[in-house]
Amino acid sequence: MPATSVPTTPYDDQKPGTSGLRKKVPVFQQARYVENFVQAIIDCIPDRAGTTLVLGGDGRFLNREVVQTTLKIAAANGFARVLVGRGGLLSTPAASCVIRKHGAIGGIILSASHNPGGPEGDFGIKFNTANGGPAPETVTAAIYARTKALTEYRIVEGPDLDLDTIGETRIGDMTVAVIDPVADYLALMRELIDFDAITRLFGGGFRMRFDAMSAVTGPYAHAILEGVFGAEAGTVLNGTPREDFGGHHPDPNPVHAHDLYELMLSEAAPNLGAASDGDGDRNMIVAPGLFVTPSDSLAILAAHAHLAPGYAKGLAGVARSMPTSRALDRVAASLGIPAYETPTGWKFFGNLLDAGLITLCGEESAGTGSNHVREKDGLWAVLIWLNILAVTGKPAQDVVRDHWARFGRDYYTRHDYEEIDAEAAKRLMDGLRAKLAGLPGTKLGDLTVAAADDFRYVDPVDVSVTEQQGVRVTFAEDARVVYRLSGTGTAGATLRVYIERYESAPDRLELPVAEVLAPVVKVANDLADIAALTGRSEPSVIT
């Protein structure tokens, strides 16, 4: 089977966003759309001859087809070997792990993460570099430029490969190794987490429910929670990956993981509830009767990470994305370690992790991770929580309350306005930017503006600059509002408004979140004139 060159014409809309190229499935089904993008990625991998590439996805609709196409294109472009997860599956963190462990030159991950799947749903293609992390801005910009200049792609045509049997086959001169998607990941978790302590915890009657949301973490959770730890059968809910995620939004938050959330707030709650998203990089943690915000979870993990063997020496530093609450900073200050603030998106943590400046990092959007891979890692977050519970012997809800008692509580909520008119969204952000300079010192409702700016990030490692990463307004009353537009949506624009307020008085730690934040929400809405500009009186999702 020789490689052939196929003439093509460019598409002008293949610009990667916060996390790769995400579009509706029918967009990817256009002739040569996938081929063009995959060839553009590969053209941006210099010195690829003779190297290894990793390939896998979250199992959504089109996953298998695009795996086959990508293998055939890779075979025509000089790779010696592709490692592909059985069934075309690899969770995002597992792909990162496999890239690093096998010295691959990079990986192509097929996922639209927490967005719905199926013929009318979303699909996505993302490139990760040799460190296992999402391609940085310089690389995604080069890929985009390449998509606009392509004149041909190269492919080895032939029959589809068997993706369901572990072992090696060839296409042209390239070896395709179908690997167990769980094995390397499980081996890494064994190095980091106290598996014996957790096994004893479950042996002592501890119960949990993990909702895999019919997405990629099912096989991982079955293998580890039920297989290794011996958690009771039925611990993993929705544990079989499905192409349409059972028609659900595989987004682990109280809205989309509603059944689990309700269970955790009921009398019948087990000791811990957790969930992960489409591609396995997000996590939700719910204690009995108590939802743990991702920002709090990150801070709690930072305060307790030394209890897990992989972090016994302590943390070099931590980082959070700018809209993530400042709870993490309080822990860092008490540990005497640096805390970095980055733009939204995991790719911005890569340099800090590679340089050894940070050990742990996370985002308010249910992403937590460490230097063990270069992606956020949903199941890892659950395992480290279990490790902490096993070692401290404390119920999860006490861990959270004790944390608040010690550090105070950053009340937090995010309001999303999905699929609003893109022009209106732009007008809203421009309007805010125009107001920034005049805000400090002004009184808005009950609050006084202390500072206001448009977040600009200077990477401490390569000093690259990223502008306009979100408008932030901080108030003298220890409150903050952040506004930004989503870079992962596939229809119209999504406005995200992040609202928080810090309280440390012992009698103000367990108030209803909506009540504490109501004055800040009002100021946030008025300042940006959200209702008038978007035509929405309510957010579409509140998390």
> Which residues have a catalytic role annotated?
113
Phi, then psi, of 228 in degrees rounded to 5? -85, -50
The answer to whether 277 contacts ligand VG1 (rule: CB under 6 A) is: yes
Count CB atoms within 10 A of the CB of residue 47: 8
Stretch near ligand VG1 under the rule CB under 6 A, chosen from 7-15, 75-83, 276-284, 382-390: 276-284
Q: Which is nearer to Co ion, 87 or 369 (CB)?
A: 369
The rounded distance, in Å, linking the Cα atoms of 542 and 497 is 10
Q: Which is nearer to ligand VG1, 153 or 380 (CB)?
A: 380
Contacts with ligand VG1 in 108-147 (CB under 6 A)? 113-114
CB 213 → Co ion: shortest distance, Å? 11
Q: Which is nearer to ligand VG1, 288 or 350 (CB)?
A: 350
- Tell me the DSSP string of 468-533: ---EEEEETTTEEEEEEE-SS-SSSEEEEEEEEEEE-SGGGSSS-HHHHHHHHHHHHHHHHTHHHH
The answer to whether 363 contacts ligand VG1 (rule: CB under 6 A) is: yes
The answer to whether 367 contacts ligand VG1 (rule: CB under 6 A) is: yes
The answer to whether 344 contacts ligand VG1 (rule: CB under 6 A) is: yes
Count CB atoms within 10 A of the CB of residue 363: 25
Across the beta sheet with 367-370, the strand order is 339-342, 318-321, 360-363, 367-370
CB 270 → ligand VG1: shortest distance, Å? 25
Q: Which is nearer to ligand VG1, 88 or 288 (CB)?
A: 88
- Tell me the DSSP string of 266-296: STT--SEEEEE-TTS-BEEEEETTEEE-HHH
CB 90 → Co ion: shortest distance, Å? 13
Which residue of the chain is nearest ligand VG1 when measured via CB? 113
Q: Are strands 360-363 and 318-321 parallel, antiparallel or unpaired?
A: parallel
The rounded distance, in Å, linking the Cα atoms of 371 and 353 is 6
Q: Mark out the alpha helices in 76-182 (DSSP H runs).
A: 92-101, 137-147
Which residue of the chain is nearest Co ion when measured via CB? 113
Contact string 315-334 vs ligand VG1 (x = CB under 6 A): ------x-------------
Contacts with ligand VG1 in 481-540 (CB under 6 A)? 486-488, 496
Q: Which residue among 48, 282, 403, 501 contacts ligand VG1 (CB under 6 A)?
A: 282
- Picking from 364, 401, 408, 407, the residue whose alpha carbon sits closest to that of residue 499 is 364
Q: Which residue among 14, 19, 295, 371 contacts ligand VG1 (CB under 6 A)?
A: 19
Q: Which is nearer to Co ion, 311 or 346 (CB)?
A: 346
- Picking from 63, 77, 86, the residue whose alpha carbon sits closest to that of residue 106 is 77
- Picking from 251, 216, 256, 253, the residue whose alpha carbon sits closest to that of residue 236 is 216
Instruction: Kindly state the number of chain residues that form the binding site for ligand VG1, as judged by CB under 6 A.
Output: 18
The answer to whether 281 contacts ligand VG1 (rule: CB under 6 A) is: yes
Q: Which residue among 68, 129, 140, 365 contacts ligand VG1 (CB under 6 A)?
A: 365
CB 79 → ligand VG1: shortest distance, Å? 25
CB 41 → ligand VG1: shortest distance, Å? 17
Q: Which is nearer to ligand VG1, 382 or 399 (CB)?
A: 382
Element (H, E) at 401: helix 396-407
CB 115 → ligand VG1: shortest distance, Å? 7
The answer to whether 87 contacts ligand VG1 (rule: CB under 6 A) is: no
User: 319-357 b/e with 16+ CB inside 10 Å = b?
Assistant: bbbbbbbbbbbbbbeebebbbbbbbbbbbbbbbbbeeeb
Cβ contacts of 148 within 8 Å, gap of 6 or more = 10, 12, 14
The answer to whether 346 contacts ligand VG1 (rule: CB under 6 A) is: yes
- CA of residue 403 relative to chain centroid, distance: 24
Give the interface with ligand VG1 as residue ranges (CB under 6 A): 18-19, 113-114, 277, 281-282, 321, 344-346, 363, 365, 367, 486-488, 496
